[in-house]
């Protein structure tokens, strides 16, 4: 959860940033709270299903985003479709197993992904998976052997995505394995990117240094997880020194909706704050002070 709060360093802790786009930065969490409360009140299963698919979209888009950053750094203008397809099959084909066979773990809670799709989909999907990744690797090797530079950053993103999603979801099929190979790596990569981009602003601001940069998100994440356990899950009081035990029972819908606001806001804002299309002044310069 800590990487969710790293968005604070990219948006809410940046002087003048909220005033620059108040509707986006203030309206998004408000809209998320209202819609989430309504959805959770109508159907808790629908709420968690929406959360799961939002998370899946966010996780996949992050990998596409890293590929896009390496493409931009190298000045690439061709081959975007194959790059996109390589990331798509690396993430979505393993997730298809969730929809066909089910897994021994869930993204948020049991049944959040739709299940029971025909098993005949899997052989065809893995054939497409192998074909697309083979074409991607072949193109990258041909480019390097033909005298071009080895595009190691982009290659590493695609290969590690295929390995982590395939191993964490399909091969090992366990909650801990999925968390380590997917969730943790996702959060660490995002936090590192945020640190890289906001480094210049921090040198003159209150978040100078790695300790305060990491400390605030970690503290807020711990407090949020404490609240989830005390108000909703009631499963891991020992992890919170017993502080989550004995909390009062509150209405389910507004509680889960409000606790989800930081995460869903992060999902949505992530689609805006990393664009290199002029909407984020200074972002390109912060990302590429020199060639990656």
Report domain extents, the chain. 2-287
Average pLDDT over residues 182-204: 80
Give strand ranges (E) for the chain.
none
pTM of the full predicted structure?
A: 0.91
Average pLDDT over residues 45-62: 95
Q: Which of 139, 169, 134, 168 is nearest to 151 (CA)?
A: 139
What separation in angstroms does the CA of 131 have from each of 72, 83, 86, 91, 138? 25, 13, 9, 15, 10
- Tokens (6 digits) for 183: 């969730």
Rounded distance between C-alpha atoms, residue 52 and residue 195, angstroms: 27
What separation in angstroms does the CA of 154 have from each of 76, 83, 255, 283, 291? 11, 9, 40, 20, 13
- Tokens (6 digits) for 251: 């209405």
pLDDT at 205 over 60: no
pLDDT band at 204 (very low <50, low <70, confident <90, very high): very low
């Amino acid at each position: 959860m800590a990487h969710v709060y790293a968005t604070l360093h990219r948006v809410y802790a940046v002087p003048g940033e909220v005033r620059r786009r108040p509707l986006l930065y203030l309206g998004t969490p408000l809209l998320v709270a209202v819609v989430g409360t309504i959805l959770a009140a109508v159907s808790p299963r629908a709420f968690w299903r929406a959360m799961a698919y939002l998370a899946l979209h966010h996780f996949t888009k992050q990998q596409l985003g890293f590929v896009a950053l390496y493409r931009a750094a190298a000045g690439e203008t061709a081959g975007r479709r194959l790059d996109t397809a390589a990331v798509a099959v690396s993430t979505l084909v393993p997730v298809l197993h969730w929809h066909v066979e089910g897994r021994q773990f869930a993204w948020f809670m049991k049944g959040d992904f739709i299940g029971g799709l025909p098993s005949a989909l899997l052989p065809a999907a893995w054939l497409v998976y192998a074909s697309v990744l083979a074409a991607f690797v072949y193109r990258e090797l041909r480019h390097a052997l033909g005298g071009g530079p080895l595009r190691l950053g982009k290659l590493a993103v695609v290969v590690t995505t295929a390995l982590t999603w395939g191993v964490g979801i399909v091969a090992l099929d366990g909650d801990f394995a999925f968390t380590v190979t997917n969730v943790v790596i996702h959060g660490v990569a995002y936090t590192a990117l945020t640190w890289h981009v906001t480094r210049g602003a921090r040198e003159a601001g209150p978040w100078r240094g790695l300790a305060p940069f990491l400390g605030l998100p970690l503290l807020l994440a711990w407090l949020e997880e404490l609240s989830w356990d005390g108000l909703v899950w009631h499963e891991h009081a020992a992890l919170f020194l017993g502080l989550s035990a004995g909390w009062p029972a509150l209405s389910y819908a507004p509680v889960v909706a409000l606790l989800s606001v930081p995460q869903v806001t992060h999902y949505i804002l992530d689609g805006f704050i990393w664009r290199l299309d002029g909407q984020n002044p200074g972002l390109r310069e912060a990302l590429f002070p020199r060639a990656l």
